[in-house]
Amino acid sequence: MTPAADGGPPLGIEAPARLGRTALPDGRRLAWAEWGPPEGRPVLLCPGGATGRTLGFGTHLLDDLGVRLLSVDRPGLGASDPAPGRTLTDWADDVAALLAARGIRRPHLVGYSQGVPFALACAAHGLATAVSAVSGSAEPSAPELADALSPDIRAMVTAVARDPEGAEATVAASADAASMWDMVTAGCAPADRAVFRHPAFAHAFRRAIERGFAQGPGGFARDTVLTMGRWPFTLTDITVPVDLWYGEDDASMFHSHHLSEPFVRDLPLAHRYIVRHAGGLLLWTHAEAVLRALLRHGEV
């Protein structure tokens, strides 16, 4: 069990219990990591931007909760084969094939930060029992968010709309593990800085980013274009419960709670949690609350 910084709760970042790669119908392979009892209730994690499959959360809770946590590298990240030109719909198809191959039906889903739209795409395609969207923005290209976006994000949304291939190339030309680490840690909330000061957490997070870039920047660049462009589903397509988690003090230009209003308005079964005195790292600082709330959906 890994203690948190400043005497806080355990961070739950133990190494995976199981690693593997599963073949898809087109011959590509998706790489995954697992924690918890193999017979537990499956919870599938769509990780944050450029972070590989080996960074779990709440790993110290999984045995008691009876949870089998599964994290998957998206194509071109970590150890998953690339899929040039892929879409959010393609991701849902990949996950459907992975779940079928592994005998998993309608898991609970968790999306973190850039992973939120990937989790929602799966939910829109009927693959989920419920979703926890942690520190995630609603569709950045939605007109009603234009005034809430930072100038940098607004510029990226505009670039993707005008020339998605050019925008993808621009991201790929500048992105690497070091710059990603700097972007994640710069200007974060005091609560998050305290967590990043913990050596074990900083090491695990940095290693996850390095593994995310193991094949180069292409996977992250594609993810960025997909999340900044128009999503190929509407929020009203998602008919399962969605928990929205935000730290009140999170001022990130990517996932402040100020970017969540379309979620609250348009998701049929949304519940928003705004945690006081917390930043964007809720997946680790509040893992138990996130998991327990998620698992209540679908209970008989």
Least confident of 62-66, 202-206, 257-261: 257-261
Instruction: Tell me the pLDDT tens digit for each residue of 79-134.
Output: 999 999 999 999 999 999 999 999 999 999 999 999 999 999 999 999 999 999 99
Instruction: Give the pLDDT confidence of 134-173 residue by residue, as tens digits.
Output: 999 999 988 888 888 889 899 999 999 999 999 999 999 9
Instruction: For CA atoms 207, 114, 148, 169, give the dihedral sign.
Output: positive
Average pLDDT on 206-212 reads 97
Which residues pair with residue 31 across a beta bridge?
Answer: 21
Q: Residue 290 is encoded by which pair of tokens?
A: 């996130």
Burial class (CB in 10 A: 0-12, 13-18, 19+), 28: middle
Q: What is the DSSP letter of 77?
A: S
Residues of the chain with pLDDT > 70, as a percent, come to: 96
Packing angle of the helix pair 116-124, 218-228 (nearest 10 deg): 60
- Coil, strand or helix at 152: helix
Tokens representing 50 are 């450029």
Q: Please, which residues have CB within 8 angstroms of residue 81's CB and are 6 or more apart in sequence?
A: 28, 29, 30, 75
What confidence tier does 1 reach under pLDDT thresholds 50, 70, 90? very low
Domain regions of the chain by residue span: 5-296
Of 157, 97, 165, 119, the residue nearest 263 (C-alpha): 119
Instruction: Number of helices (H) and strands (E) in the chain: give both, helices first.
Output: 12, 8
Report DSSP state, residue 23. E
34 or 298: which leads in pLDDT: 34
pLDDT band, residue 10 (cuts 50/70/90)? low
Find the mean pLDDT for residues 200-213: 96
Q: What pLDDT shows up at residue 299?
A: 63
Which residue type occupies 84? P
Give the CATH superfamily of 5-296: Alpha/Beta hydrolase fold, catalytic domain (3.40.50.1820)
Instruction: Give the pLDDT score at 300.
Output: 38
Cβ partners under 8 Å of residue 118, min gap 6: 46, 74, 88, 91, 111, 223
pLDDT of residue 142: 86
Identity of the amino acid at 205: F
In order of 80, 182, 197, the CA distances from 203 in angstroms are: 22, 14, 10
Model pLDDT for residues 247-287, shown as the tens digit of each residue: 999 978 788 788 898 999 999 999 999 999 999 999 999 99
6 pLDDT higher than 80: no
**Helix residue ranges, H only, the chain:** 62-65, 88-101, 116-124, 151-162, 164-174, 177-185, 190-196, 199-212, 218-228, 261-266, 282-285, 287-296
Asked if residue 218 lies in contact with residue 75, where contact means CB atoms within 8 angstroms, the answer is no
Phi, psi (5° rounding) for residue 60? -75, -10
End-to-end CA distance of the chain: 31
Count CB atoms within 10 A of the CB of residue 139.
23
Q: What is the pLDDT of residue 180?
A: 95
